Amino acid sequence: MQGPGKTQRMGTAPGPRPQEEPRNLVSIRPPPRLGPGTMIGDKYRIECEIGRGGFGVVVRAIHLTLDQRVAIKVLTEGEGSTEAEWAEDAARFHREAKATAALRSEHVVRVLDVDVLESGYPYIVMEFLGGKTLHELTYGAPGPLKLEDAVDYAIQVLAALADAHGAGIVHRDLKPANVFLSTGFGGAPLVKVLDFGVSRMVGAGSQRLTRTGAIVGTLAYMAPEQMLDARRVDGRADLWSAAVVLYESLARAHPFNAHASGPAVVSSILSDPVAPLRERRPDLPSALEAAILRMLDKSPDRRFATAAEAAAALAPFASPRSRPVLDEIRRAPPPSGPAAPGFVSVRRAPNEPRPQGARTKPRAAKRASPMFGFLIAFVTSVIVLGLMAAFVFHVKPRYLSGVAPAVSLPSASLEVAPAASTLATPALPLPAQSPVDAGGVDEPP
Ligand SMILES: Nc1ncnc2c1ncn2[C@@H]1O[C@H](COP(=O)(O)OP(=O)(O)O)[C@@H](O)[C@H]1O
Ligand SMILES: [Mg+2]
């Protein structure tokens, strides 16, 4: 059985696999050689293995040219994977690298390289982080974390999310084992978020995952809507996970029945109320508990809409060290694409009801609307001016001459023009003198 902190894969439609999907197991593929001293590419020499997760093995290595320590995550196929599943994992792994490399916050682990081993296993090279994961820190220390420290760490996690959400990336697998606590340049605690591996970038690469709706992530930290339908996830699912992480770092216990096996965790998260935090942590201000409960609302519409809003609610309980981080979050662009609240509503299936409070347009469409409005105004003005011109030069003279405009033809207009001139008020132009009428004027008397 997988532990509560392990990344798991769960199909949205449980039941027997469809007949047409052949189980071409690839367990015969020899496992990658990742022992100490092994070279990866021609640049990195492995020192030791540092961990194993749901999708791969992480090793510590030396970049031989730069003489720098790096962490390398090698994607190894899951036990019993089909070729298709393996390819899906590999595609996701490459997205992890690309997505993470595009982010600039110092609270996101730096991605340095991505490539494929000769044996076919893809790998990603990251900065090597010294320190501990928040999981190790929470459960390894003799007592619970100081309130201020736990909130400071949560705010740094929200800074990483604000950056990712601004770039349209949803993490989807935030958990204490993916929050790394190292030290910054001046010795202050520096939180780095790992594993944007299950996040999805906007683009064609994510189509297959979107269609299958496969759930990838760690059940105990997964928002209810992510469990029900992975396609319905926006940045607010990460706010839920961030709140579970914060709750756990304060209480040293999970807000739901996380230690039950898979389906029981799912049912607890879907239907149980949050275990009262202040019973476990009596020194907690009620406003802080209220902010955490809001992030843990089962309905994403009732959560904070953005990481910035959540950070603002936590700010009064943070230490002064968090001030620059809060400034960074305030400066971050608003969530966009799949991370924007309610983004899924624009992709809903025909006849599917629109979720309450969801935006009806993606942000890009909103930004395009002034241009669209200008175009409409321009086209309308051209039509109105055209009609006015037609009236002044063509229809009005006819009314004055008593000829019904509905039956008039351009040639007829020229014929009746002299008659009109005899009745015309001085304000009217005299059609007979205009250049277009020259043919008539030039006719010999
Ligand atoms: N850049 C890194 N520097 C140091 N340790 C790392 C780094 N990336 C991952 N690790 C460690 O490797 C272990 C396995 O990570 P991972 O494969 O991501 O597990 P999971 O799938 O459960 O998230 C984790 O315990 C993590 O602490
Ligand atoms: Mg991880």
pLDDT at 224 over 80: yes
- Please name the residue whose Cα sits nearest to atom 17 of ligand 1: 53
pLDDT at 269 over 60: yes
SS3 208: helix
Q: Which residues form the catalytic set? A: 173
What is the structure's pLDDT at 202?
Answer: 26
* Separation of alpha carbons 350 and 273, rounded Å: 33
- Please name the residue whose Cα sits nearest to atom 21 of ligand 1: 53
According to DSSP, the residues that pair with 122 across neighbouring strands are: 116
| Beta-strand relationship, 179-183 and 132-133 | antiparallel
Of 192-201, 288-297, 342-351, 398-407, which range is least confident? 398-407
How much is the mean pLDDT over the chain? 74
Res. 313 pLDDT band, cuts 50 70 90: very high
Q: Which ligand is nearest to the CA of 181?
A: 1
- Please name the residue whose Cα sits nearest to atom 13 of ligand 1: 51
What share of the chain in percent tops pLDDT 90?
44
| Residue scoring higher pLDDT (374 or 93) | 93
| Atom number in ligand 1 closest to CA 5 | 22
pLDDT at 254 over 70: yes
| Residue scoring higher pLDDT (437 or 41) | 41
pLDDT at 27 over 80: no
Domains and CATH numbers, the chain: 33-128 (3.30.200.20), 130-343 (1.10.510.10)
pTM: 0.71
Give the mean pLDDT of 88-107: 80
249 CB less than 6 Å from ligand 1? no
Which of 194, 199, 219, 221 gets mutated to test ligand 1 (max ligand atoms within 8 A of its CB)?
A: 194
89 CB less than 6 Å from ligand 1? no
What is the structure's pLDDT at 184?
Answer: 87
What is the structure's pLDDT at 28?
Answer: 58
- Please name the residue whose Cα sits nearest to atom 1 of ligand 1: 128
> What φ, ψ does residue 298 adopt, rounded to 5°?
-65, -25
Which of 50, 77, 127 gets mutated to test ligand 1 (max ligand atoms within 8 A of its CB)?
A: 50
* Separation of alpha carbons 215 and 347, rounded Å: 18
Res. 7 pLDDT band, cuts 50 70 90: low
Q: Which ligand is nearest to the CA of 130?
A: 1
* Separation of alpha carbons 241 and 325, rounded Å: 20
Res. 261 pLDDT band, cuts 50 70 90: low
